[in-house]
Structure formats: structure tokens, C-alpha cells
Amino acid sequence: MRILSNIAELDLENHELLKILAHTYLQIGEFERSLYLFDKVAQLRPDEPQSQRDLALAYQANEEYQKALDIFLEIILTEWNDFDERFPSIKSTVLHEMNNLISLHKTKLDLSSVPKELIIDLPIDIRIVLDWNTLETDLDLWVTEPSGEKCYYENALTKLGGQLTEDYMDGYGPEEYLLKDAVPGEYKIEANFYDERVQKISGPVTLQVSIFTTYGSKHQKKKEITMQLEGVEDVIEIGSFNWYD
């Protein structure tokens, strides 16, 4: 905790560094510190819906469900620049996450401000999300299914029904892999570190992968993997998991 606090004091205006620290605090259960930093990032980067999304997810982790819902809804209803490469499909991601929140905690939420057409039950077996902390960086999520077929930007819909969201080419993500009806076997997760155009004063690019199973149900489980990338490589092996019927 002392080390993390000292790092935060090095540059309180560096949003890339603050993102790393906020996620670290979140993973070790220091929710108040995480929320403070995510809120700071959201203030520094008000034009980026990813920063608002990070804050909403942190509120959800801290069991402040109504605050999370309100931010999710604000992201969906805000007119972002649809042609900005930083967030080509952010609203669909947030819509899914908002409905996940509603499915899990409906009785604890005031839904009166949420348009009924936005409330959709979207349970899926497997959801894998790739985020990273820097702009001008292109990471591509790859998922190889038990059949051996790879789901990636050139094969965004597999025979099993695995689907990859739009490719983010300028930073942050999130890139998502979704599979409604999983088949038994191993799912291998990789990232293609395609491009890093500028030297980062916050240090190497840090990626985070969140793996959800039975997403949107009471049996939902989540595992997170964080990696620091020392240099551009063709493919980074992140991990794998098995699905059982």
C-alpha cells in the first residue's frame, strides 16, 4: 500500500499511470482508493467514455449499484463521437454491462430512469474482455475455441457462435469475445500487440483480461489476469481455461 501510494504521488495528472494504480487497488479490495483514482481519471478525461465505464465498474465492485447504474446509463445516452477510433462500439459493451448489473441486483436498483427498451436479458456462457491503459496502442484479442478455430478481427464470428466486438486501434479497448452457448473444452486467450506509436511516460503498456463464465446469471464467476508488456511482440500468450457442461 505504501509503494502504491508513493507511485500515485509521482504524477497525479498522468491518467495512464492512475488507471494502472486504480485497477491494482480494485483487485486487492481497496475499493475507496480505487474509486478516488477512477474518479480522478474521469475528471481528467471527460471526453472518454472508457474512463466513465471504469468508474461505474468500480462502484459495482464496491456494491454501490445505483451509482454504477446511473453512470452506465449516462454513457449510453451521451452522444459520443461515433467516428472516434478510441471508442467505436463502447455503447454496446456498456449496455451489456448495465443489463448484467440489472440481472444480478434488480431488487436493489431504482430503474425508473432507464428506458424499458434498454433493459434486455443477455445471459451468455463465456465473456472475455481485454482492456489496456494507453492511447495510441493497438492490442487485438484472440480466442481459440475447442474446435481449433480462432476468433479474431479477421474472423469475428466463428462456427460455434463466438463473436468478437469491433477492433479498437487507438487505445483502451474494451475488446470482447462473447459465446452464448459454450461447448466443452479448452479456450485459449492471446493478444496481438500490433502497434505502439509513442513512448509512454507511464512505462510499459499494461493489459487486463477479465474472464466471465455464466455471465448474467447467479452462478457468474470472474477471473482477472494483468500483464505488463515490455515491448512489441507478435503474439502474447495470456492464458487458457476449460469449459465443462
pLDDT, tens digit, for every residue of 215-239? 999 899 999 998 888 766 678 899 9
Predicted confidence at residue 101, as pLDDT, reads 97
pLDDT at 205: 83
Share of the chain above pLDDT 70, in %: 85
Q: Which residues contact 158 (CB under 8 A, 6 or more apart)?
A: 145, 147, 149, 151
pLDDT of residue 159: 97
Crossing angle (nearest 10°) for helices 65-77 and 49-61: 160
The pLDDT value given to residue 86: 62
Confidence of residue 6 (pLDDT cuts 50, 70, 90): low
Query: What percent of the chain shows pLDDT beyond 90?
Result: 59
Give the pLDDT confidence score for residue 185 in this predicted structure: 97
133 or 150, greater pLDDT: 150
- pLDDT bin (cut points 50, 70, 90) of residue 158 is very high
pLDDT, tens digit, for every residue of 113-135? 999 999 998 889 999 999 988 87
Q: With cut-offs at 50, 70 and 90, classify the pLDDT of residue 112.
A: very high
Please give the CATH superfamily to which domain 1-121 belongs.
Tetratricopeptide repeat domain (1.25.40.10)
As a whole number, the mean pLDDT across the chain is 87
User: Can you tell me the distance from the alpha carbon of 165 to that of 46, in angstroms, rounded to the nearest whole number?
Assistant: 24
pLDDT attached to residue 195: 61
pLDDT tens digits, one per residue of 17-51? 888 889 888 988 999 989 999 999 999 999 889 99
Distance separating alpha carbons of residues 241 and 182, to the nearest angstrom? 12
pTM of the model: 0.89
8 A C-beta contact, residue 142 and residue 190: yes
Q: Which residues pair with 129 in a beta bridge?
A: 176, 210
Is pLDDT above 80 for 179? Answer: yes
Domain boundaries, the chain: 1-121, 123-245
Residue with cell 459493451: 93
Does domain 123-245 bear CATH number 2.60.120?
Answer: yes
